[in-house]
Structure 1
Amino acid sequence: MKFMNIQEQAMFNLSNMLCGYSDTRVWNFIPYAGVGFLRNFDDNVNAHAASLGVLNTWKLSRKWAVNLDLSFNISDDDIDGTDASHTVYGTSVAKTDRYFTAEIGLTYNLGKATWNKVPDVDAINALHQSQLDALNAQLADANAENDRLNNLIKNHKCPEAKTVTVKEVATAPVSVFFNIGKSKIASRKDLQNVKAMTEASKDAKFVVTGYADSKTGSASYNQKLSQKRAEAVANELVKMGVSRDNIEIVAKGGVADLTPISYNRRATVEIK
Structure 2
Amino acid sequence: MKSKLVIASLLLAGACAANLNAQEKTNYYTPKWSDNIFVSVGGGVHAINNDGFNKLAPHFSVSVGKLITPTWGVRAQFNGVTQHLCLDNSYWEHNKTYFGGNIDAMINLSTLFAGVNPNRFFEVYGFLGPQVTVAKSANVLIQNDGTMIPDGDEKARARVGASAGLGLKFNINTKWTIDVEARGAIAPSIFGNISSHRKAEGTGMLTAGVSYIFGGKKFIPVSKIDEDAVNAEINRYRSELAQAQADLANCKNALANAKPEVKEVTKEVEVAGPRAIFFKIGSARLDDYGKVNIELAAKILKANPDKKYKVAGYADKATGSASWNQKLSEKRA
| Band of TM-score, shorter chain | 0.3 to 0.5
Higher Rg: 2
Q: TM-score, normalised by structure 1?
A: 0.39
